[in-house]
Amino acid sequence: MTPRLLPCGPTSVIAEVDTPGAALHLAEWLRAAQLEGVVELVPAARTVLVQCARQRDLTEVVRALAAYSPSESARGPGPLIRIPTVYAGVDLAEVADATSMTVEEVIERHSAVTYVGAFTGFTPGFTYLTGLDPALHLPRRATPRARVPAGSLAMGADLTGIYPTCSPGGWHLLGHTDVVLWDPERDQPALIAPGSRVRFVPVDDA
């Protein structure tokens, strides 16, 4: 499918696709193409912002996007990150009721998937992960919380993720981890980047 192109100033364009996974694939395809003059690629939920150095560079990008095919491979799979997780979130029982499952089934389904980081946003180090089992898809909470502890594992709609710092949040809380998701002192402050693969490993609360 050819992305829908939306103008964004004289040297940028927004390429719109249908899913977070498609946006990540498109961003990786553009990186692999190494088009001259592309200075930044920013994947989001269903778009990729392409910023160029000059207007003539943008013309080449638009021409390349017209030939894009989702069936073409981009890069290989990203690094696999295993996150030890205590599934004891305050919303776990409520999620089980809403999905007509037991708590154990929710944990089993959520931890059985290898997720892929699609894009970052909301707060530094928060990466939206795709791959959530469709049986677990639920809308956001009707009333967001003013404070969600750092390390909280949560899900909303068709995505899941971990709150890297204490912040407000409207997703369903399934559990928590002690893994540090965001550390400005690291060479790569965000542990999980777009393209990273993630597995949640259930562990007992110490």
CATH dotted code for 4-66: 3.30.1360.40
In the chain, the N- to C-terminal Cα span, in Å, equals 48
174-187 burial, b if ≥16 CB within 10 A, otherwise e?
A: bbbbeeebbeeeee
Alpha-carbon torsion angle 128, 132, 134, 139, nearest 10: -40
pLDDT tens for the chain, residues 1 to 206: 679 999 898 999 999 988 777 888 898 889 888 899 999 999 888 899 999 999 999 999 999 988 887 765 555 668 899 999 999 999 999 999 999 999 999 999 999 999 999 888 889 999 999 999 999 999 999 999 999 999 999 999 999 999 999 999 999 999 999 999 999 999 889 999 888 999 999 999 75
Largest CA-CA distance found in the chain, in angstroms, rounded:
58
CATH of domain 80-202: 2.40.100.10
What is the pLDDT, as a whole number, of residue 75? 57
What is the C-alpha separation between 68 and 32, in angstroms, rounded?
12
Q: What is the pLDDT of residue 32?
A: 86
Q: Would you list the domain boundaries of the chain?
A: 4-66, 80-202
The per-residue pLDDT for 71 is 66
